[in-house]
Every structure is written in C-alpha cells, then in structure tokens.
Structure 1
C-alpha cells in the first residue's frame, strides 16, 4: 500500500536530530585530506555501499551490445536540427532488450553538447514531430493523456513538450537525447520484463537482495546509451539529466559512470538529492513501500531507520566530483524536501574543494528564483514538481560556463 502525502512531516521543528556522515572520514575512521585519498579510498567505499545497500549491483556483464541508426533527417525543427533515432540492443543469456534514443542536434554546431534524459511516456511525447514513432512498450495509464490498457496512442504525441525546451536548446547550441524509460525497465512492481530477466540464472524470477532495483537498471540504460553517444562525431559531451524518480537515476548514472561530463537533478527528492536523515516529506519507508521495485531489497532495512544509515545523499552527490553538478528544487514541491536537496549540494561541496572546484559555501537556502551557480549549482524556483523553461534556461547558462 502507498502513503498519503498529507500525513508527511513538513515542519522544520519536527525534523529529527541527526549527525550527518562525514565525507572526509573513512568508515574505518581515517581522515581524508587529499584528492588521491578521496579517489582511492573514500570514494570507492561510499560507491560500494550505495551499490550494495541502496540502488543494487548490476549482476554481471552483457554478452553483446549493439546499436543501429534507424532514421536520420537534417530538416527537423524547420531545418535548424539534425534528427537521429538510434536503437540500442542489449543481449544476455540468449535474451535481448531494445530501446530507442531520439536525438536532436543543432545544425549550426558541427559538434554540440547534449542533454541526455529519460522521458515518462515515450519519445513521441516530448515533441510534435510526426516522424517519431509511438512507443510500443508498457506505459502507465493516464486518464488525462487517454492512456488505457498501458498502451500509448497518437493522442499522446506532444503531451510533454512543455517539459523539454527543445527549440531553446537548439538555439543555444545544445542537443537533446531522450529515451522512454519504460523501454529499459517498465516502472511497475515486478521484475519479469525489461533488463532484469536478461541476467537471471535458472529458476530466478527477481533480483537478489543486493542486486539492482529499477533506479539502478535505468542508470545502466543511460550508461549503455552513452556507449553510443560518445562515439557520435556530432556530439562533444553529454550532461545526464533527470526529473523526479528519473533524477534519482541520473544521479546514480553520474556517480557510476565518469564519462558523463555533468549531472542535473531536477526535483529528485528522497533517494535522489534530498538528505534521508531529515525525514521531511517523502521518507525511506514511504518510498520503499509505495515503490518497492525502485531500490535494492537491502535498502528496506533502513525503513523508518534512517538514523542507522552510514551514508546520506550528500555523499552520493560527492561521487560526481569534480564534474559539474546542478541540483534544482521547486518551492511547492515540499514532498521532495527542497531544503534537504540544497543541504546535500552544500555538504557535497567539500569534496569539490579537494579538486579546487567551487561549490555552495553557505548552508542558508537561497531565495526563490535566485540561482547559485558554481561547479556545484542550485536553484529553487517558483512552482510545483515539474520541469519548466526556467529550469532549462538555468541549466544552459550554467553548462556554458562550467562544462569542460
């Protein structure tokens, strides 16, 4: 059963007292004072903890990976964009999964930086472009979009254009690569489709206790997309982006795959950028109960037990250092705990300083619609849980300044 959002704690005075795990002290108590000590010791042990106890390990390697350019056109968006549609196929144990990347690149740039992000209802929903096929994969039912029987239809074309400022990206010299996350792993509480069954041994029907949940599977899909994108001559570098649950996946992808040049978390909340120990808005117990397939089963032992967690989400963010990181919140999105998201970015900044990079020095939440942009950036904007043109405008300004 799920929890109602209404009975969550939204009162700062009721946030429990807690001690935040120190980034600069190893699990065995040794101080971390240099970039080398961070890389070789502390970063590795934090990454391993998150891998085994939070998101879950990928249980092996693929037998085969391939990609195929399905379609290409140089006249998209009134001639300002080059469109590519690429199918990625993953094979293991004589089973396979194929998912599709929709790419728009600005023709004015021979090589462009690209935002890579998952979408929620199909590649055809992010654009009105009639050349983008409707996904055949399972999709969540949505009355407003006319989705029934878990099937997308022509009616859903372009229903999420407001979340993807594609023309603004193109005008600013950026490209977009997007994937429907349900083609990698359908977002439902079973493990009998998507990428998980590729790795099952005989008689296995779900991942083992410390193996990957859906967030880890989605992060894996992003990394496998990167295998194609890094070899595309029209792409200079890739910033991985995600909103909400897909922001959690983007952060984990950025932590586990250093090829991503930058990482953006948009309203990622609990299990994403927000500090778990604050127990503000959505909590570990709530998320593991409402969405038991997202995390490794081993994470469930911290249900209503956050105080015993030897890590917190500022340490996840620190795994991305020294690459640029942007955390964004929305003022009305209290479920995702904007203050907890901000404090994570603030505390992660100590690791960025080891590399000589600028982070967020103050622990005081900035004013609404007043971005703080360094190598670590943060804003809290007016409005609700969503992705807006305002968000994309900040991300592009920041990327132009801080991307390598």
Structure 2
C-alpha cells in the first residue's frame, strides 16, 4: 500500500472517530441540501458523449461498474464453482399449492465449503416458472411458522425479544417475518419464491471481514488492494449471484426469468446484484435509501458519513473518503440504476421513511432514464415524471422503470408486493 493511500485511510479513520463522538442530526430540510452536480452516465471518463448502445455496453457501462467497485461496494472475487445438496422437500406446501425445498449451496465444489441455505417455493406445474429471489433478515424459518423448516443455527442480530437468544434463533422466531413474504399470493400468481438468510453469506457485524465468505474466500481476494476489497453488501450480492448459478440448473425455476428483490440494506444489495450481474431479469429495491436507490449527493436523511460510521463493514474502505464529501465521489446512485438498463427495475419508497429519502430515490430513477431510453426501452412509460407529480399510493409501473411512494413506514407490505407482481407480469411472464 502506498504512503499516500495509508495517510488517506488514517485521515478517514480519524474523521470516523470524530463522527462517533458527535451525535448525528439528520437534515430533512430541502433548502439545506448542498449544491451538487451529478455525474453524467452518458459521458465517458474521457469526456465523450455516449450516443449508441454499443458505446454504452462496450465503454461506458464497464467504466461505471469499475468506479462503483473501486469507490463504493468493493471488488469481489471471480465467480466460484458451486455444489449443492437437497436438505428437505415438502410436496404439499402452501395449502397444497406448492412444492417447498431446502437446498444447501456451497461456495466451492466440496461439501466442506462455506454454504448458504435456499428456501425454495414453486407452484405445482410441469413447467419451470419465473421466480423472485431475495435475502431475508431473520432466517428462512421466519418466512412461515411450519416447524418442518430448519431452524437456522448461525449468528442472528439480537432483537431484544424472545426470538433470539445469545445471537441464535429460537423456536419463537418461526413465522415472525411472514407479513413481508406473502408466499401464497406469490404462488397464486404463478411465481416461485427463493429466499436465503443473509447471515448465511456474511454475518452483519464488523469483525474485520474474518467471518462468512469474506474469511472463507480470503485467498481469492488477496491480490485486491485493501481499500478496494468487497464489503458486506458486495458479499451478499455475490451470494445472490451464486444462488442464480444454482437456479439456472433447477428444473422447477426458469433461471432466465429471475427477479432479485431486497428491502432496506438488502435493497441496496439487490440493486448492486442486479447492476453487476446482468443475468437478473428484473431488479426490485424496497426502501433502500443511502447506498441504494437514493442520490448520495442530496445528503438528506441518512448520509454517507452516517452509514459508514454505523455500518463500516457494508462498503469498501475507499467509500469513507466521501463522508461529508459526497460531491467528490465519481459516481452516484442514478448510475447504479442505469447499470440495470435495459432490464426492468422497480424502486419503492414510503412516506414515513424520510430517512431513506424518497425524493432522492425517485430522482435517481429520473436521472437514469436517459440510459434506458438510449437502449431502446420505454423508461417510465410516461413522459415528464417529476417528484412533484408522484402522489402516495399511485404507482408508475407501465414501463421498464417502475416506482411508487407508499403511505406508511419502513417495511414491506401487501401493497408493495401487489405492485411487484403486477410489474413482473409485464416483464417476467
């Protein structure tokens, strides 16, 4: 590591310590947003205008991916070989409408490699189905209360209730997140659902990247500069891509028609997974906020400095340079959304979740739309979308870009899923 980089990291750590000592007060006043200039996704690093799909795909898109890897999420190892083992099968799940399976996927070609467990629901049909793939926060057993689903035995964040004891799930955790995963509704619409406990991939706490796949795959990342190594969001995204590797060879799921979904920090994850892995057919971000769909430069609600202080393991070390310095970052989140083009993307916000900056989430899609248009899509499907015209509970979902501002708080609701299913009908079926 160069002396210059070392001094920069020391300065970042010093600034981080100062931030810890100060109580963060979020700004929610639009008039106090600092002046900023957004980088243009359709201008190359050499200053050339991007006017063709070929220029985008061969030059500009790789540039933007590289910038996000270097400055935000970190560089992940190359795709590894995977192996799998079927753990359980239930042929009459979801009131007899579905087949439910538990499948262990290993990050390697041997069963002693690090693993994650997929919980897979598919309708009873002879044809492979389109599916939603998403990470969950509390374990696969939290999706429904059926005691036949294996109770996770890995680290779980303490929720100060009886669902967790000593950072391990208890029997009382079964079904606690079922309101966020309307399995029967998804099955009735003809889709599959695949979910994975995100802690299987990488436990969500800062231990210097020793546990999870960070530790298991340390040899594969040893040649990546320290400040550019993958954070936890990149690790969770990597896990989603390896799950897709498995689903591409699953007879019950059509691997070419998989939508990646995530809420909150896992919405940030679904966006990076969809941006960096073009195999995902559709990408859904639910209340993802800072580091997800919201423009970082607005510095409203949760900011880059705040998120890097509270969750220093989510992003790479370089991202800490932009604490209270968002305008210096060479990318912003509209470019993350642009990387998904021409595939379908849906961003959802909530009126009671100003921490995630709903206006900034919609603005990111608005500023990404020129890339979608360049690549021959209909963008929003309507002309002149503006933040002042988007009313709560009035979705925009007629085009390749979808958006809604839901009444309520930071959560996943039946209203959200209704929009995602309708959007999927247009783009996955």
SS at match of 2:215: helix
TM-score by length of 1: 0.95
TM-score between both structures, scaled by the size of structure 2: 0.90
* Secondary structure of the structure 2 residue equivalent to 1:209: helix
SS of the equivalent of 1:218 reads helix
How many residues are paired up? 401
1:304-337 residue CA offsets vs partner (Å, 9 max, x unmatched) = 1001111100000000111100000010000000
Contact 2:162 2:170 in 1 (8 A): no
Of residues 396, 399, 403 in structure 1, which corresponds to 2:424?
399
Contact 2:163–2:171 (CA<8 Å) still a contact in 1?
A: no
Q: 1:243 maps to which residue? A: 263
Offset of residue 145 of structure 1: 4.5
Return the offset for 1:402. Answer: 2.5
Q: Show the counterpart of 2:412.
A: 387
What are the within-5 Å matches in structure 2 for residues 210-289 of structure 1?
210-236=228-254, 237-289=257-309
Q: Distance in 1 between matches of 2:82 and 2:76?
A: 15
Q: 1:333 maps to what in 2?
A: 353
Q: Determine if the alignment matches structure 1 residue 96 to structure 2 residue 113.
A: yes
- Residue 351 of structure 1 corresponds to 371
| SS at structure 2 position matched to 1:299 | helix
Partner residue of 1:59?
77
Aligned partner of 2:327 in structure 1 is 307
CA separation in 2, counterparts of 1:163 and 1:5?
A: 32
Q: Distance in 2 between matches of 1:291 and 1:264?
A: 22
8 Å Cα contact 2:359/2:387 also seen in 1: no
Bigger fraction of residues in helix: 2
Task: Quote the RMSD (CA, aligned, Å).
Answer: 2.1
Matched-pair contact (CA < 8 Å) for 2:271–2:337:
yes
In structure 2, distance between residues paired with 1:330 and 1:38:
32
Aligned match of 2:391? 367
CA distance in 2, matches of 1:145, 1:31: 57
Name the structure 1 match of 2:11. none
Task: Give distance in 1, aligned partners of 2:21 and 2:193.
Answer: 35
Point out where structure 2 has 5 or more consecutive residues left out of the alignment: 1-18
Partner of 1:189: 206
Asked whether 1:48 is paired with 2:66, we answer yes
Deviations 1:272-322 (A, max 9, x none): 000000001000000000000000001111111001111100000000111
Q: CA deviation at 1:218?
A: 0.2
- State the alpha-carbon separation in 1 of the partners of residues 289 and 91 from structure 2: 38
> How far 1:111 sits from its partner (Å)?
2.1
Assess, with a 3 A threshold, how the Cα gap between structure 1 residues 61 and 112 changes in structure 2: closer, same or farther: closer
Which structure 1 residue ranges, 5 or more long, are not aligned? none
Displacement of 1:130 in angstroms is 1.9
2: CA distance, partners of 1:240 / 1:269? 17
Q: Aligned-pair distance for 1:96?
A: 2.4
For residues 197 and 223 of structure 1, the distance between their equivalents in structure 2, rounded to whole angstroms, comes to: 18
Q: For the structure 1 residues 234 and 289, does the alpha-carbon distance in structure 2 shift closer, same or farther, using more than 3 Å as the test?
A: same
Cα deviation digits, residues 38-93 of structure 1 (max 9, x gap): 1111111000000111100013453x421112222210011101111110111399
Q: Do the aligned partners of 1:185 and 1:194 also contact (CA within 8 Å) in 2?
A: yes
Bigger mean CA deviation after superposition, 192-201 or 308-317? 192-201
